[in-house]
Amino acid sequence: MNSKFNINAYSHIRNDKISLNGDIVFEDETKDFSAFIKSAYKSQGMDYPKFFKMDNLSKLTFIAADLILQSISNSEENIAIILSNKASSLDTDRKYQESISDSNNYFPSPSVFVYTLPNICIGEICIKHQLFSENSFFIFDNFNPHHLWIQTEHLLKTKKANKVLCGWVDFDDSSYDAFLYLVEEHGDLNHTIKDIKQLYLCQ
């Protein structure tokens, strides 16, 4: 399917590496995700204390999105966000369930509870970058470029957004995988399902 829109930037976080537009910007073979993403945060020179309060899915998404959004001027831009994954917020759901499973030690954590929805990670991006735009979070068995393409094209063609940040952000247990890309009028890569698939697999 043809499109008049283009992919202007993309990021990956997987296999101990973080890359922007195919170039590795951070690498750390630390096995533990928490240590890995904390090192990544510091390596990017970020100053955003709320990062440490986020759950793992939000941290993963936040870093992947920030790489792209800080490279563009997004002031007064209408940037929509469409994300997807397989595990939803299951990793945090389990942690929350553990905190309420013992009736004799029943102290549910409010700060864990607030992350028991997958789309909270979109909210974290919107708060940091002051985005007041359209957003959606979809759950699929696998990365679904076709669905993302349709949603993105609709938002851009109907002018509900000038740009769309979209992709896949999955976290479960110790497994993580993030691939985000920015679609807009300008860019070097065509916004086609074939190109999205190739970019997803490229790192």
Partner 1 sequence: MPVKELREELKEKIIEQLNLEEFSVSDIDDDAALFGDGLGLDSIDALELIVMLDKDYGIQLTDPKEGKEVFKSITVLADYIAERTNK
Amino acid (1-letter code) at residue 61: T
Shortest separation between residue 86's beta carbon and partner 1, angstroms = 27
Window 17 to 46, contacts with partner 1 (CB under 8 A): 38
Q: Which of 4, 15, 22, 53 binds partner 1 (CB under 8 A)?
A: 53
Long-range contacts of 130-135 (CB under 8 A, 24+ apart): 131/74, 131/79, 131/81, 133/78, 133/79, 133/80, 133/81, 133/161, 134/80, 134/81, 134/160, 134/161, 135/80, 135/81, 135/82, 135/83
- Contact string 107-146 vs partner 1 (x = CB under 8 A): xxxxx--x--------------------------------
Window of 13-21, 102-110, 120-128, 163-171 that interacts with partner 1 by CB under 8 A: 102-110
C-beta closer to partner 1: residue 113 or 138: 113
C-beta closer to partner 1: residue 99 or 190: 99
Number of residues lying near partner 1 (CB under 8 A): 10
For residues 197 and 199, what is the distance between their CA atoms, to the nearest angstrom?
A: 5
C-beta closer to partner 1: residue 38 or 154: 38
In the chain, the N- to C-terminal Cα span, in Å, equals 24
Q: How many residues does the chain have?
A: 203
CB count within 10 Å of CB 22 equals 11
For residues 139 and 165, what is the distance between their CA atoms, to the nearest angstrom?
A: 17
C-beta closer to partner 1: residue 120 or 183: 120
Shortest separation between residue 106's beta carbon and partner 1, angstroms = 10
Shortest separation between residue 151's beta carbon and partner 1, angstroms = 30
Residues in contact with partner 1 by the rule CB under 8 A: 38, 49, 52-53, 107-111, 114
